Each structure stands twice: as C-alpha cells, then as structure tokens.
Structure 1
Amino acid sequence: MRLFLKTKDFYVSGEQFELHRDEDLDMLVTKPEPQNLAPYYESENYISHTDSKTSFTDKLYQLVKAKNLKNKVQIIEDQIDKQKNLLDLGAGTGDFLITAKKSGFKVIGVEPNNKARTRAGEKGMHLLSSMEDVSGKKFQAITLWHVLEHLPNLEEQVKALVNLLEEDGVLIIAVPNFKSFDAKYYKSHWAAFDVPRHLWHFSKTSIKKLFAPHKLEVVKIKPMWFDAFYVSLLSEKYKGNKMYLISAFFVGLWSNLTAIFTKEQSSLIYILKKKK
C-alpha cells in the first residue's frame, strides 16, 4: 500500500494519521490503527452517541436525521417481501430502530458505546453491546448506517455479517465515498475521513470486491444528498473558515451537481443481496 495523504483527528485528539491506498480493493486504510479506539469516541459532542442539540451543526444534523429515518425504513421495505426481522449494527441512540419498530419490524440493535445504549434505553429501546449476542440468528434485513468504516478486523466483520443474513435477505450499508467531489476538494480537511474512528474509506469498487467472495452482490446504489452539505460544513469549520456556512453550501451544492454525472456522491447507500 502507498501513502495517499496525511490528515489528523480534528474532532478529539488532534493526533496525526496517514491514509494508505489499497490498490487491489480500491480503498483507503487509516494508519496507524490505535489499539484502543474507545478514547477517540469520548466526547460530549460525538453526536451519534449523545443526541446533542447544542450547536447549529448539531441542530441541523438532528433535523435531517429525523427526516431521513422514514426514508431508511422505506428502502428496506422496498427490498423484502416477507417477515420483517431487522438487525441494526451501530444503532447509536436507537432512533432508527424505534422508527422501524413503529413500521412493523421486529428489531434488534447492537451498539458498543455504553453512553449511546443508555440514551436508547431512556427512549425504551434496549440495545445489545456486541455482535456475539446475536450469533446463530438469521435476519431478513441487516443495516449499517455509517458503521462499516468504524469496524476493526474488516474481513472478519464481513464474514460475520454474511453469516447473520438469511438466504433471501438484504444487507444495507451506508458509507462515505472518498471519490466524491467534496473529498477531493477538502483533501486532508475532509470531515468524512474522521480518523482514527474511520478505519476504512470505501469506493464503489471496494464494496463490491469485499462482498463478492461471499456471493453477495450490489443490486442498487442510492445517494445520500444531504451528506455533501453536512460534511462540507464540518470541513470548513476544520479549516477555520469563519464564513463556513456560505462556503459549505456552495461546495456541497457543487458536489451534488457534479455527482449527477459522475454518480460519486459524498455518501452512498449500497443494497446487497446473495447471488442466485
């Protein structure tokens, strides 16, 4: 693997990291990988674990999150036609599962962060702490909303996911896309690199190649249009731009406009099913 670029943890530690390119899989790998990742999530501002609504950025995130929940459920319903048993990995504070449950799904969620599990429990959604707690079970739908990039031991995690999926089930994965315009524009300041919490940085090719040996194929790819704006907003703040709102809007807009032609949006949702 060769060095792609150098960046740092803008969010918690300020530590320097490198991204190396795996040419075979067409993906980037964060180096070095910390032996203990838990401290890098210990922040009152880590929004997916706290439901924070203190800053303008937090409020914007929560507003769009609320609008996206039903859309995520609809994506699953469009893909399955029998019993609705759903596993969500990296369930955060449980809002997606709560929405899915209201739509008739039988739900199980896994979230390793204790703070996030506690917050979900306060909403009435009990979450498990480890994938080991669901081993041996099978699910019609498995979702990872911006989670796969966080998981260590990637190949082992992929095998575990496949083993949990029913033969006619659907696996839905949302991840940032390092080939988007906003990624190329911001380079080391691109917020979706989010090192070292993001260990892997995917392209369309890498997702296809990772799951192909397990006879899972990508049947559809859907864009996440808002991510270009949100990621650009964070990236501008990392750059120290006091006019970050205006700059982020135009970069996010241009990223989405170019993606109409390139199909390389800031984040992508991959829908995978087993080959017949």
Structure 2
Amino acid sequence: MEITHKKHFLKVKDHSVSQETFDLYLDETLDMLITHPQPSLDVLGKYYESVDYISHTDSKRSLFEKAYHFVKNIALKNKLDLINFYEPSKGAILDIGAGTGDFLSVAANDGWKTVGVEPSDKAKAIAKSKGVSFVENTSELESYSFDVITMWHVLEHVPNLEEQIKELKRLLKPKGTLIVAVPNFKSFDAKHYGHFWAAYDVPIHFWHFSKKAIELLFAKENMKLESVLPMKFDSFYVSLLSEKYKNGKMNFIKAFYIGLKSNLKAKSNMEYSSHIYIISNK
C-alpha cells in the first residue's frame, strides 16, 4: 500500500518476541499509522510465537489467561447479539481470522450457517474439534455469498490491505454487513503508554487505524461506515500487557486504573481503546 503523505510518528519495539525495533509512519491523508519495515510472509510466522498471543490457544494457565477467557465469554454473547441485531434472518456468516473457533461455534448453535478462515494450524485444529468448518482461502468462496462477514482484531494483521477490502466487497451480499474490530491508536491508553502500548504489537500489526481511516478505506469500494461501537474491555486487557512491557510485570491495579480512565475519557471524545465498525455494502 502506498503511503501518500507520511511522517515519522513513533519507534516501537516488538516487546513480546524478537525485541526488534520498528518505525510507525503516519499517513496524513488517511490518518492511519503504518509499520515499517513489514516482514515478508515467509518469516512472519515467527513473530506470532509469543506467550502473550493467547487468541490462538484455549490455555488457562495463569490468572491473566483465566481473566482473558472469562471476558471472552461475555464478549462472545455481545458479538452474537450484535450480528443478530443487524442481520436477524440468521443467514450465512464468514469469520476471517477465526482463531480457536469460539465465535463461529456460538453463531452455529444460534442457527447461522458458518465458515471460517484461519492461517494458524494450531488454532484451526482446536476450532475443528469444536465442529467449525474452514476454507483454506477466501478465493474458494463464491461472490456475494455472505450476509455477514466478521474480522475480530484481524484487519490490522492483513499484509495486502486494499486487496483484502476488495475481497470483502466481492464476498458480501448486496446490503450485507461487515463487522470489523481493530485497536485505536488515538485512545487515551495508547497516548499514555506511548511506545509501550501493547496494541501496536509490531510487526504483526501492519496497520493502525483511526475512524477516519476506516471510513475512507472502505468508501473506495463503495462501502459505507454505518456505526462505530466501543470495545470497553480492551482498554483493561491492553493496559495490563502495556504495564508488563513498561515495568516488567503485570500491575493489575495500575492497569485497571488506566483502562478505566481511558474509557471515561472516551465517553466525551469517543476514542476508545478499540472500536467495532459496522460497514454496509451499498
């Protein structure tokens, strides 16, 4: 993706795996950050080999992991309520980056026709044990075949951003709904932690979005941003990891304080730690 007007924004370390340093550049036209350099696909996998990357496991070894999965169960119900609100007919849903399959499993039990895409063999094996169906690549899927497509904290991981958006447009039915959740680098917790902010997660997060960026990127494919919703739990989770990166340990009390402060500030400026974007296919 070409950066139209760029300036250096921040230097950030990969705190969880390689300890390598990466630059974030601001695309002023889109109001988004871009990680540089971006690792090639043949070496990208090694950057996911982190004990902090728990979305690819059902492990509950530590208090942190147990808390994560407790919150995840609440979030799963909220996600199901969300898709049922926008598409009450319960048609076909595609989840890109399905992880261990919990969301699709919940959706299938509620009457949705489900299919997922997941690059991690480890996560996919866990999901298949829950009865989740997968395709290897979205190119196998017919055009205009899904009522809903979801990407829960996945779009920031996609190497070819504009190609991915074109593919989402191809797969979504006319009047269908796309639901995208991504971190927000304009949140209070992002500004507070700076280069220690865990949601920068370089280099596996290639892109760092603002609300303006999401609106403009999807408008290029004649898709309309309908609504922006907060993910209030994310500020606590991200603050907890950020405390670890900054101070060497997880300070639950400090992280709770910063997460709460971030949510309270976002009540007025609407800049939460992460957002859910509801996008319609015109």
Query: What's the TM-score, normalizing by structure 1?
Result: 0.96
Summarize the Cα distance change of 1:240–1:169 in structure 2 as closer, same or farther, 3 Å threshold: same
Within the candidate set 245, 251, 255, 2:258 is matched to 251
Offset at 1:218? 1.0
Q: What residue identity is the alignment partner of 2:9?
A: F
Q: In 2, Cα distance between the equivalents of 1:242 and 1:196?
A: 22
| Unmatched runs of 5 consecutive residues or more in structure 2 | 1-5
Give 1:19's aligned residue.
24
Summarize the Cα distance change of 1:44–1:263 in structure 2 as closer, same or farther, 3 Å threshold: closer
**Residue-pair matches, total:** 275
Q: In 1, Cα distance between the equivalents of 2:81 and 2:253?
A: 32
Q: Deviations over 1:233-274 (max 9, x none)?
A: 000011125461111011001000000000000000000112
Within the candidate set 78, 83, 86, 2:85 is matched to 78
How do 1:127-166 residues align onto structure 2 when only pairs under 5 Å count?
A: 127-136=134-143, 138-166=145-173
Asked if the contact 2:143–2:172 (Cα under 8 Å) also holds between the matched residues in 1, the reply is no
Offset at 1:56? 1.9
Asked if the contact 1:113–1:129 (Cα under 8 Å) also holds between the matched residues in 2, the reply is no
Q: In 2, Cα distance between the equivalents of 1:43 and 1:118?
A: 18
Give 2:49's aligned residue.
42
Asked if the contact 1:183–1:266 (Cα under 8 Å) also holds between the matched residues in 2, the reply is yes
Offset at 1:8? 0.9
Asked if the contact 1:108–1:127 (Cα under 8 Å) also holds between the matched residues in 2, the reply is yes
Asked if the contact 1:149–1:201 (Cα under 8 Å) also holds between the matched residues in 2, the reply is yes
Q: In 1, Cα distance between the equivalents of 2:126 and 2:151?
A: 19
Q: What residue identity is the alignment partner of 1:33?
A: Q
Q: Deviations over 1:189-247 (max 9, x none)?
A: 00000001100000000000000011111111110001001100000011125461111
Percent identity, aligned pairs only, is 53
Structure 1 residue 122 corresponds to structure 2 residue 129: yes
Offset at 1:83? 4.8
**What stretches of structure 1 move > 6 A for 4+ residues in a row?**
none
SS at match of 2:276: strand
Within the candidate set 216, 219, 222, 1:215 is matched to 222
Within the candidate set 184, 196, 206, 1:199 is matched to 206
Asked if the contact 2:262–2:273 (Cα under 8 Å) also holds between the matched residues in 1, the reply is yes
Query: What's the TM-score, normalizing by structure 2?
Result: 0.94
Give 2:232's aligned residue.
225
Offset at 1:128? 2.5
Give 2:109's aligned residue.
102
Asked if the contact 2:114–2:133 (Cα under 8 Å) also holds between the matched residues in 1, the reply is no
Give 1:54's aligned residue.
61
Q: What residue identity is the alignment partner of 1:14?
A: Q
Q: What residue identity is the alignment partner of 1:10?
A: H
Summarize the Cα distance change of 1:47–1:153 in structure 2 as closer, same or farther, 3 Å threshold: same
Q: In 1, Cα distance between the equivalents of 2:178 and 2:249?
A: 40
54-63 vs 140-149, which moves further: 54-63
Q: In 2, Cα distance between the equivalents of 1:242 and 1:142?
A: 37
Asked if the contact 1:150–1:198 (Cα under 8 Å) also holds between the matched residues in 2, the reply is yes
SS at match of 2:25: strand
SS at match of 2:220: helix
Structure 1 residue 88 corresponds to structure 2 residue 95: yes
Summarize the Cα distance change of 1:101–1:134 in structure 2 as closer, same or farther, 3 Å threshold: same
Asked if the contact 1:180–1:259 (Cα under 8 Å) also holds between the matched residues in 2, the reply is yes
Offset at 1:134? 2.1
Summarize the Cα distance change of 1:233–1:44 in structure 2 as closer, same or farther, 3 Å threshold: closer
Offset at 1:105? 0.4
Offset at 1:57? 1.6
Asked if the contact 2:47–2:204 (Cα under 8 Å) also holds between the matched residues in 1, the reply is yes
Structure 1 residue 189 corresponds to structure 2 residue 193: no
Offset at 1:130? 2.1
| Unmatched runs of 5 consecutive residues or more in structure 1 | none
